[in-house]
Every structure is written in C-alpha cells, then in structure tokens.
Amino acid sequence: GNSVTQMEGPVTLSEEAFLTINCTYTATGYPSLFWYVQYPGEGLQLLLKATKADDKGSNKGFEATYRKETTSFHLEKGSVQVSDSAVYFCALFDNTNAGKSTFGDGTTLTVKP
C-alpha cells in the first residue's frame, strides 16, 4: 500500500534560519504530492502541491520538488519566521486508491525570535 514518512519532530529553529522537513513516500501509481500546514486549533491548509515528477510547488516562501528517483518531496524555506510555527503534513493522493490521501505523521515546527 501507499505510505508517507516524514522527518520526526519537533523541530525548533531561530528566526531567519533555513528549514528542511524531509518527506519520502511509497506508492504503486503516480501520485500527486502535497504539503499541508495546521495552525493550533485549526484545520489543515493546503500549502503547496506537485502533480508530476520534477514539478516544484511553491507558496509563501516554501518550496518542495517532486523527486521520483528518490521518492521524496522535501519541504524547504530559506528564512523562517515566528509565524511559520505550526504542524506540517506531507501527503500523497493516488487516484487509483478510491481518491484517498495518505498522510505523514506531521512535523511540529517552532520558530523562536
């Protein structure tokens, strides 16, 4: 079956530091890949997505590139802010699996001033 493995947290960084959150996946088909962000007490917000190999998703300074050869979709940001503190979920959508998505366990990011 499909699976998503995320870097374990929590991750604590100082403001303006570089962020990487690793995500690797296994899938039988050709999935689309997503990063979602969850702020405390809220639902998930779509952060970025990529639908095929070598696509780069980007939003709000965050980027992730769909790497088929390494089955990875690592999230990066060059300079984090305190407001980026949240839980980040990597997910894949495989349209051969009844439209279900598979989520990683989430990585908690805390950015300190």
Partner 1 sequence: GAVVSQHPSRVICKSGTSVKIECRSLDFQATTMFWYRQFPKKSLMLMATSNEGSKATYEQGVEKDKFLINHASLTLSTLTVTSAHPEDSSFYICSAFLAGKETQYFGPGTRLLVL
Q: In the complex, which residues of this chain contact partner 1 (CB under 8 A)? A: 32, 34, 36, 41-46, 49, 51, 89, 93, 95, 98-101, 103-106, 108
71 in Cβ contact with 90 (< 8 Å) = no
Which segments within 1-113 are labelled E, that is strand? 3-6, 11-14, 19-21, 23-26, 32-38, 44-50, 56-59, 62-65, 75-77, 86-93, 101-103, 107-112
CB of 42 to partner 1, least distance (A): 6
Closest CA to 33 of 76, 72, 79: 72
What the block records as the tokens of 65 is 């590139």
Rank residues 42 and 54 by Cβ distance to partner 1 and give the closer one: 42
CB of 53 to partner 1, least distance (A): 15
Rank residues 17 and 110 by Cβ distance to partner 1 and give the closer one: 110
CB of 5 to partner 1, least distance (A): 12
CB of 1 to partner 1, least distance (A): 12
Rank residues 16 and 56 by Cβ distance to partner 1 and give the closer one: 56
